Amino acid sequence: MDADMPRAPQYGFELLNIYCPTCGAPAAYDIVRHTYACAYCGNDTGVDEALQQKRGFRKLRQQKLQNSRDAFSAVKYTCTGCAAEMVFPQSEVLQSCSFCGRTLVRNKYLKTPDFPELIVPFRLTPDEARERLESWCSHNAGKREARHLRSCLDQLQGYYLPYELIRGPLNCTVSRAGSKRSFACGGFLTSTFVNTSEQLDNLTLNGMEPFDLRELHEFEFGYLAQQKAKVDEIGAKELDARVRQEVAASYREVIEETLETKNVDVSVNSQNLMRMPVLLPVYYICAGNVRAAVNGQTGKVAVRSEAVRKTVPWWIRPIAATLAVFAVAFAIASAALGNWEGGLTMAGMITLVMGLIFYTAFSNAYEGTKRQTLDPEIFTSRETFERAPDGSLRVGAPVVEDPVEPVFFENVDGVRTPVEIRFTTPGRTIRGLLLGLAVLALPMLIAFVLNGFSVQGLHPEGSAVWLCIFVVVVPAYLIKMGRIDIYENPYVYVTDEQGRRRKVKTESRTATVGGIVGALFSPSLIAAGLALLLFLVMGVYLTLGN
């Protein structure tokens, strides 16, 4: 197998790895070949076979849990407000719900399969978790969230919260919003957690991740002897929607950077992902508008902002662009005419035309959009902690996530091939600007050539009619049509085995060019072309002074 092919990294997570059925060694996922490849014997394990391997593990774990469940003594509480269900140790009593503050009703714990097969144990005690949250408040004393948290630190409660651990190959289709061009994207998720509690704030919980999966253990009921646990409530359909949302979020930053916009559509195919229920240690507080979580393993703090954030209205951009054009036009026109009154008149005329162009371009790009409420900001701490040999808590090395960079694919000569995608390259930008200037000066350039490459005797004012037309058309094309052409026809590069990069043509590019060629022969464009040709000939004639 090619050593340079992108693969998922291997860790010492015996409970999560896929093992080669031939030699038993851990197998690494090959993103390009879409299979698990063994580096020791070279055997390939298909995705379906890998999923079946994990299903067998889960079945054995569930049978083992059934045998040990009878010895587990606990009580179950149900909240009268948010309907949260919690399992408590037999000796512990709690009067109010930690997630909404309403009354709890005690029920008999039924021997049902409420718990997953995996767990990350608590490392921090309740007192240590409160110290971490109080320390965050001290370092952020100027924030109102810190002031509110200080008044209710005693409400911080520790729970094993239910999650789905998502791991495995990822395939998705991505595109810019409103674009007809889509791209295939593939990768591998090493450890994405999806909260399965209906009442809790996902953003806050996401903020206190990651967890160190080297401490992942098989679940035993003994873990609940001294700690409460929450039972998952969401149904299969909602869980699947959350999985897709979390998976899309895992790659969204890279996708947005590649497609050069935050307005992207991501469609996820999750059928090949391994989904394993797991309990994670979390200290959580919910009091009024205050939402905060402390990672029960690493001590990382996450606090949700109480402020409401709004998106910037779409019309801000055309206004800003119009004001910039006015400032530049006023400065140039005033200097050229020698007085500010004439410069103001000239700049006003240019700004009026360009303002209409900017408004049309941006209103089409954001058609149908309204000002949206953004997700609240999540404040997090930087330190993570570990247990010292003497039992004390000390600052430890941060838990580093090692995500696998997604790979984009295109059909190159009928073969699904890993590619690099680029849109607004410097060369494209410069060529667009030079082409615009050349179109504006086209009558003068032709007249210059016909005049024996001499400017003597030329009359630049003869190109006035041509300039009046294209001083509007050229900016409109560069702003609107130029952007469409760039984003619908990206540059696509492949890298060969020697590491050399070359640009290739794709199927979509050929289809787009063919459509443009066909459109050129439409009656409307033929008539417009003849009219422009007439204006061009007239401009050249007048510029030559004939």
Please provide the DSSP assignment of 475-536 as one string: HHIIIIIHHHHHHHS-EEEEE-TTS-EEEE--HHHHHHHHHHHHHHTSHHHHHHHHHHHHHH
Confidence at residue 101, expressed as pLDDT on a 0 to 100 scale:
72
Q: Is the pLDDT of residue 514 over 60?
A: no
**pLDDT tens column, 417-464:** 888 888 888 888 888 888 888 888 888 889 888 888 888 888 877 777
Angle at 129 between CA 145 and CA 209, to 5 degrees: 75
pLDDT of residue 90: 66
Reported confidence tier of residue 367, pLDDT bands at 50, 70, 90: very low
Q: How confident is the model at residue 509 (pLDDT cuts 50, 70, 90)?
A: very low
Q: What pLDDT sits at residue 108?
A: 60
The radius of gyration computed from the CA coordinates of the chain, to the nearest angstrom, equals 32
Tell me the HSE value of 444 on the side-chain side, using a 13 A CA sphere.
17
Q: Which helix H or strand E contains 265, and what residues bound it?
A: strand 264-269
* Range with top average pLDDT, 8-12, 358-362, 464-468, 524-528: 464-468
- CA–CA distance, 378 with 102 (Å, rounded to integer): 25
Q: Per-residue pLDDT averaged across 119-137, rounded?
A: 92
pLDDT the model gives residue 437:
84
Q: Do the Cβ atoms of 234 and 161 come closer than 8 Å? A: no
Half-sphere CA count of 212, side-chain side, radius 13 A: 18
pTM for this predicted structure: 0.70
Label residue 133 by pLDDT band (50, 70, 90). very high
Provide the token pair at 73: 């003594």
Residue 297 reports pLDDT greater than 60: yes
Q: Which residues pair with 319 in a beta bridge?
A: none
Distance CA 252, CA 264 (A): 8
Q: Residue 129 has which token pair? A: 């978790």
Residue with tokens 């402020």: 307
Token match 């910037």: residue? 312
List pLDDT tens digits, range 206-229.
889 889 888 888 888 778 777 888
- Average pLDDT score over residue span 118-144: 91
The SS3 assignment for 352 reads: helix
The tens digit of pLDDT for each residue in 336-351 reads 677 788 778 878 877 8
Residue 79 near residue 102, CB atoms below 8 Å: yes
Cβ-based neighbours of 522, under 8 Å, separated by 6 or more: none
Give 108-137 as a 3 state SS string.
ECCCCCCCCCEECCCCCCHHHHHHHHHHHH
Average pLDDT, the chain: 78
According to the model, what pLDDT value does residue 295 have? 94
Distance between CA atoms of residues 172 and 254, nearest Å? 13
Taking phi first (over 0 means left), then psi (-120 to 50 degrees means alpha), and beta for anything else, what does residue 508 get?
A: alpha
Q: What is the reported pLDDT for 511?
A: 41
Most confident region among 232-241, 247-256, 297-306, 520-529 by mean pLDDT: 297-306
The percentage of residues in the chain with a pLDDT greater than 70, rounded to a whole number, is: 81
Q: Is the confidence at residue 132, as pLDDT, over 90?
A: yes
Find where tokens 């206190």 sit: 208
Confidence of residue 280 (pLDDT cuts 50, 70, 90): very high
Contacts of residue 332, defined as CB under 8 A and 6 or more positions apart, other chains included, come to: 343
Q: What pairing do the DSSP bridges indicate for beta strands 407-412 and 393-396?
A: unpaired
More confident residue, 373 or 189: 189
Who wins on pLDDT, 360 or 27? 27
Binned at pLDDT 50, 70 and 90, residue 122 comes out as very high
Q: What's residue 371's pLDDT?
A: 53
